[in-house]
Amino acid sequence: MPRLDDTAVFLDFDGTITLTDTAEHLLDRLATGDWREPGLRYRAGAISGLECLRREWAMLPHDEELLLKTAREVPLDPGTEQLITDLRAAGAEITVVSDGFGFHAEDECRRLGLPVVTARVIDGELTFPHRNTQCSCSGCGTCKLTPLMRARHRGLTTVVIGDGTSDRRAAGVADRVFAKNGLADWCARQAIPHTRFNRLIEVRDALLSP
């Protein structure tokens, strides 16, 4: 197994660690109103990711116990724990970066022993402690570019593993990109070198096979 002591891995949560998007699952199960509209506008570039999250959150009941119970219905990629175990054994730094509601990512990352950069729910309010208004991604609820650039400034090789719109800015500057779904399509259109994947075990094999 190769050593990755000089590598920082940034792993998206929704649609990457989880097989489907937690927010969409919650909205489909619990929301009032046309919950698809904010997401469609966000992906079309009409509103920011931050505005999308705020609009979606307003459609949900702010019953944290119900929300977490429903979020736990979303399955994880079966290769998640193997990827994390082997990356740790190889010496890599691993950080989960999630531009979602946060509480499901926090719940799973606590169990997995992983640091997570994401939004937080405090007394029923959705807050954004990792928003960076000075960054080019100031429209994101959680800036994924900031922790990546900090790792780069420490001299680390940066790896992004993701699937969607919120991963684009980080993917555009990372040393290595693993992409699926819409992120892979975007990288192809932008001529950004990337490795397309469907499941995390493929990422594990690409990074860690001798």
As beta bridge partners, residue 94 has 9
Res 135: pLDDT: 74
Q: What is the CA radius of gyration of the chain?
A: 16
Q: Is 102 in the same domain as 178? A: yes
Q: pLDDT means per 10 residues in the chain (210 residues)?
A: 95 97 95 92 90 95 94 97 97 97 96 96 93 78 94 98 94 97 97 98 94
Q: Is 57 in the same domain as 156? A: no
Answer whether residue 38 is part of any domain. yes
pTM of the model: 0.95
Sheet holding 157-162, edge to edge: 116-117, 93-97, 7-12, 157-162, 176-179, 195-196
Q: How many domains does the chain have?
A: 2
Q: Is 88 in the same domain as 124? A: yes
Res 144: pLDDT: 95
Q: Is 179 in the same domain as 92? A: yes
Cα–Cα distance for residue pair 19/198, rounded to 1 Å: 10
Res 57: pLDDT: 96
Query: Residue 75 is inside which H or E element, if any?
Result: none
Q: Is 101 in the same domain as 179? A: yes
Residue numbers of the domain that contains 63? 22-72
